[in-house]
Amino acid sequence: MTKEGAAKGTVALSIIAGFLWVFLFLYWHFKILGAITTMINGAAPPKPGSATNRIGYSVPAEPMDEVEDAGCRALPYLVNSLDPDKNPAYLLAAEELLRKLTAPKDPHSPNTQCPDVRLSLQDEPPDRKQKCEEIRTWWLLHGKEFHQGWRIWSNHCAKD
């Protein structure tokens, strides 16, 4: 094999790897956005006698599972979706997922888990806003411990 042939092969492999990375990024981007949109649209306060999901609020379980399966890839999307004007049932579900996805697997992990701000269906708008901002501030300070955007192939970027 000549140097020219090896160079062409290297370029071809680099282009293929780049296309694969872009495909994976777009796949997870749309899958996570779709799941979060479904959660937002399907979130409802619990009704007496109605079936609720595992956190006790009426948020569709299937998209919650999809977000959970996405792992750390979903974290920036969840944080960005924390709009205090959104349905409080969705915000509760988002906080629950953030805490679950950032829980250290090792109790001696140096990573700081998402703060437990205790979002509530009864929170007044200023309280909800403050709690959402607290999570956003935590993400700005600690997000890189949990997810590096370029590692799209991994659902667990944290070092714990």
* Span 14-29, pLDDT tens digits: 899 889 989 999 999 9
pLDDT of residue 26: 94
pTM score of the predicted model: 0.82
Predicted confidence band of residue 54 (pLDDT cuts 50, 70, 90): very low
Q: Are residues 74 and 32 in contact, defined by beta-carbon separation less than 8 angstroms?
A: yes
Q: State the Cα–Cα distance between residues 71 and 33, nearest whole angstrom.
A: 13
Looking at residue 98, its pLDDT comes to 93
Q: Does the structure show a pLDDT above 90 at 104?
A: no
Domain borders along the chain are 7-146
Q: For the segment 123-147, what is each residue's pLDDT rounded down to a tens digit?
A: 899 999 999 999 999 999 988 888 8
Region of residue 8 (left: phi > 0; alpha: psi -120 to 50; beta: else): alpha
Amino acid at 29: H
Who's near 147: CB < 8 A, 6+ residues apart? 72, 73, 75, 76, 157, 158
